[in-house]
A and B are shown apart, each in its own frame.
Chain A
Amino acid sequence: MRENPLNTRRHFLSTTTAALSTSLVCLPCLARQTPASTKTEPTKSDVPTAWVNATLLPVDKPPIKSGAIVVQGGKIIAVGESQSVTIPGDATVVDAKGKWIMPGLICTHSHIGGMGAADGSSPIQPGVRILDSINVRDSGFRRALSGGLTTLNIMPGSGHLISGQTVYCKLRYYESSPRVVDEILIRDKDGLATGGLKMANGTNSQGESPFPGTRGKSAYLVREQYIKAREYQAKIVAAKEDATKLPPRDLHMESLVEAMQGKRIVHHHTHRHDDIMTVIRLSQEFGFQTVLHHVSEGWKVAKEIAEAKMPCSIIVLDSPGGKLEAKDMTFSNGRVLDEAGVKVAFHTDDWITDSRLFMRSAALAVRAGMNRDKAIAGLTLAGAEMLGLGDRIGSLTVGKDADFAILNGDPLSVYSRVLETWVEGKKAFDLSKPEDQLYAEGGLQAGSDLDPFLCCFAPAWQGGAK
């Protein structure tokens, strides 16, 4: 594959450039601004912090009644029974008796920050990136943190067959709020932004021409494009890195080729049982790796989904309906899929459901009989795996990012509250702070863009520019 446009946007370069360009128009900000690079590169000399005597939900192992977790340098360096974990001598030790600690929640399907990828010009726009439209000042990010979320797959909408590239983000809203989207990206080992490809079928992606009017046309249009992408890919292979023989760059084709190569997971909106089977059929024809999203009627074809080894990221809504294809939605979906052997994660679809209540989705699945541990995994590790990030996040495991939530009780109880959310070893939400409480509880200004947006223009009575 040729160079991805993001290849040149290495993290350090982009964040430093962003900070510099901001400072040019906003000199007073500079002194108080934390260099963005420290956000993603915690220094190895960090003092370790240990939480002891907590109820731990490691997710990849059974719950621990009295456990300890030690973090350093943004990573988890030890986890286990309190008495069996060696706490480093220089560690800051926090007695977390009565608290529950679980991995930071992972939402595999969120729209916080906007949905501005594909436009109305065409139903298939795989080259368009949500990355270029995200408003990092959206207060939804802070609200999500108050619900214990640490990672989001931010997706374009479902009004297209292919609405563009999604982006995996880490809620690095600690110390100071991010100023540019680059600061919240999750990058791969080459420094590239990670993300998937959003697709949809059923009624949302139908419309007036050039959009399809039927399900048959929808599938046809998608197949046509993937066949084109195969031919595009063949030309690149045939060129054998001879630049003169390469076809002209085509962003749409590049994106579809990445999907077929497994470099870009397809996140596919689908509701009705027959639409689900269509997704499976197309995935198998073109070999893209797919996560089924919403999957309202998944319970009707659970066996088939399991046989196709296709994970499901499901939504839990308080009632069925709103459109014909969601009429048979049920709290039992998670249980039925899990029992059939399907990997199940939950998602908020924020603002369809509120990220602050994400744990409630798993709780309602448990209400309908889903295994408790599987439901907790559905908020964490299963989601991480569906984003291809299972080796980095999603469980309290040594070596993984120190992303976790501290609660005052069982995450599946309505009465439990997230007290703190930690991202890469840094506290990004603290319920005891009034400024964080605002986002947890709501109230005047809770829905407004975050404060830094006004950094350069704040009136004198607010203390001038920050």
Chain B
Amino acid sequence: MIFPRSKVALAILGLALSCNIVMAEPPLVVQAKRVLTAAGQTIENGTVVCVDDKITAIGKTGEVAVPDGATILKCEVLMPGLVDVRTCAGLSGILNVKQDSDQLEHSSPLQPELRAIDAYNPREELVDYIRSFGVTTIHTGHAPGELMSGQTLIAKTIGNTIEEALMVDGRAIAATLAEASSKSGKASPGTRGKQMAMLRALFIEAQEFQTKQIAKSNPKPAESSGKDNKEKEKEREPIARNLRLESLAAILAGKKALLITADRAQDIASAIRLAEEFKIRIWLDSAAESHLMIPQIKAAGVSVLLHPSMARASGEKENQSFQSASKLHAAGIPFAIQGGFEAYVPKVRVVLFEAAIAAAHGLNYDAAIESITISPARILGIQDRVGSLKVGKDADLALYDGDPLEYTTHCVGVVIDGKVVSSLVR
């Protein structure tokens, strides 16, 4: 349980809230018997000080100055707020009915232009649910199941509007190389070969679009002859907007990643082949057979957003292994363990639980902690803000009453941007 020591501070806060007086929050101090920083060290009897929305001090309890008037919380184990590297929470809702399921649009196999920001519901119960176990940042968006289903975003698990929660809009575009992306009958794609052919054709189109974009932004010096006024006028016209090609050009320009869900070894190989042909950054998503493709993934320098450890070992995941995380770690391949997408139950998975199973099946303890904190933050490119406990980073914290990975431990508090957002005992 967490218990504020500075009752005065709380009372003032309560007064401020009840009277609608705008005033600064008191600093927040969390003291724990063990602080798992995910920044290369574990601090026994540690203290973390948060002022406003940032971490301002961290160190041994007694050696770190506690600001006057601070609210003090205590717990057994303190961790950085968890980062779920791949979920659909907020687009996919708890009831799993049409009205709360916006993670997958089936009207066309290629829709990279769909933005997660237009579909994400920050008040979705499932977002609150995973937050109550310590998840403070999610990379969420369109689901696997269509060749290219749409974009993703990165958000904190707070906010009444997406604008309040948003960290990065349009971080990646989700693609799926799998039997699931194939259509029956005469519709395309109907085979794996056709899936790749369609993706390649689309990227070639995007390359041409990008060439035009570059040409427009770097106009050649005016030529004295050879073109009439009409032609010159045409050159000055802006390129017609194309939401689809603009989003793909962002991948070609390295501004977005292509997240490719691929479980079978041959689909993983195809994803790597696509990345090499178009020189784009891809993330291998799910990757149930990644343990069979370690040298290839390593050589390609690709990061893996590994399926939940407890994903069902059936269908294209029939060859998945509880040991994949430990094998990726041993090979030095950047990876993070995801909550993923569930079409039925459990409607959302909690990355804390998934990392625990990996730790029980050979993954080094610290690596298991990192696989749901700093590793996903690095892959997502938000490591300067979240993922570890360091001075200057966002004050996102998860408090536990024991080993966070143990079945019978509880999450007892969650802090985002320096504010306690959950004090449920989970």
A447–B129 CA distance with the chains assembled, in angstroms? 32
A205–B193 CA distance with the chains assembled, in angstroms? 39
Asked whether B257 is an interface residue with its Cβ less than 8 Å from the other chain, the reply is: no
* Contact, CB under 8 Å: B350 / A318: yes
The secondary structure that dominates the A interface is: loop
Q: Interface 1/0s, chain B 388-413, versus A by CB < 8 A?
A: 00000000000000000111111000
Asked whether B348 is an interface residue with its Cβ less than 8 Å from the other chain, the reply is: yes
A439 closest partner in B (C-beta): B313
Asked whether B361 is an interface residue with its Cβ less than 8 Å from the other chain, the reply is: yes
Contacts of A443 in B (CB 8 A): 291, 319, 321, 323
A444–B318 CA distance with the chains assembled, in angstroms? 8
Chain A interface extent, by class? 20 to 34
Which residues in chain A, 289-318, are within 8 Å of chain B measured between CB atoms? 317-318
Which residues in chain A, 382-421, are within 8 Å of chain B measured between CB atoms? 412-415, 417
* Contact, CB under 8 Å: B360 / A415: yes
B315 closest partner in A (C-beta): A447
B324 closest partner in A (C-beta): A442
* Contact, CB under 8 Å: A322 / B344: yes
Asked whether A366 is an interface residue with its Cβ less than 8 Å from the other chain, the reply is: yes
Q: Which of B96, B317, B323, B361 contacts A321 (CB 8 A)?
A: B96
Q: Interface 1/0s, chain B 297-312, versus A by CB < 8 A?
A: 0000000000000101
Task: Knowing A323-B95, A443-B323, A444-B292, say if A413 contacts B407 (CB, 8 Å).
Answer: yes
* Contact, CB under 8 Å: B348 / A351: no
Which residues in chain B, 235-254, are within 8 Å of chain A measured between CB atoms? none
Q: Which of A320, A441, A448 contacts B321 (CB 8 A)?
A: A441
Q: How far is the CB of A333 from chain B (nearest CB, A)?
A: 14
* Contact, CB under 8 Å: A319 / B346: yes
B406 closest partner in A (C-beta): A414
Q: How far is the CB of B359 from chain A (nearest CB, A)?
A: 7
A319–B128 CA distance with the chains assembled, in angstroms? 11
Task: Knowing A320-B94, A443-B323, say if A414 contacts B359 (CB, 8 Å).
Answer: yes
Asked whether A354 is an interface residue with its Cβ less than 8 Å from the other chain, the reply is: yes
Contacts of B33 in A (CB 8 A): none
Asked whether B91 is an interface residue with its Cβ less than 8 Å from the other chain, the reply is: no
Asked whether A181 is an interface residue with its Cβ less than 8 Å from the other chain, the reply is: no
Contacts of B130 in A (CB 8 A): 319
* Contact, CB under 8 Å: A321 / B347: yes
Asked whether B97 is an interface residue with its Cβ less than 8 Å from the other chain, the reply is: yes
Contacts of B95 in A (CB 8 A): 321, 323-324, 327
Asked whether B353 is an interface residue with its Cβ less than 8 Å from the other chain, the reply is: yes
Contacts of B310 in A (CB 8 A): 318, 353-354, 357
Q: How far is the CB of B165 from chain A (nearest CB, A)?
A: 20
Task: Knowing A444-B292, A445-B319, A447-B314, say if A357 contacts B357 (CB, 8 Å).
Answer: yes
The list of the 7 closest CB pairs from A to B, nearest first, reads: A447-B318, A321-B94, A363-B407, A322-B345, A442-B321, A321-B347, A318-B346
22 A-B residue pairs with Cβ-Cβ distance under 8 Å, sorted by A, are: A317-B345, A318-B349, A320-B346, A321-B95, A321-B346, A321-B348, A322-B342, A324-B97, A326-B345, A352-B345, A363-B407, A366-B408, A367-B407, A367-B408, A367-B410, A413-B406, A413-B407, A414-B357, A415-B359, A441-B322, A441-B323, A446-B319
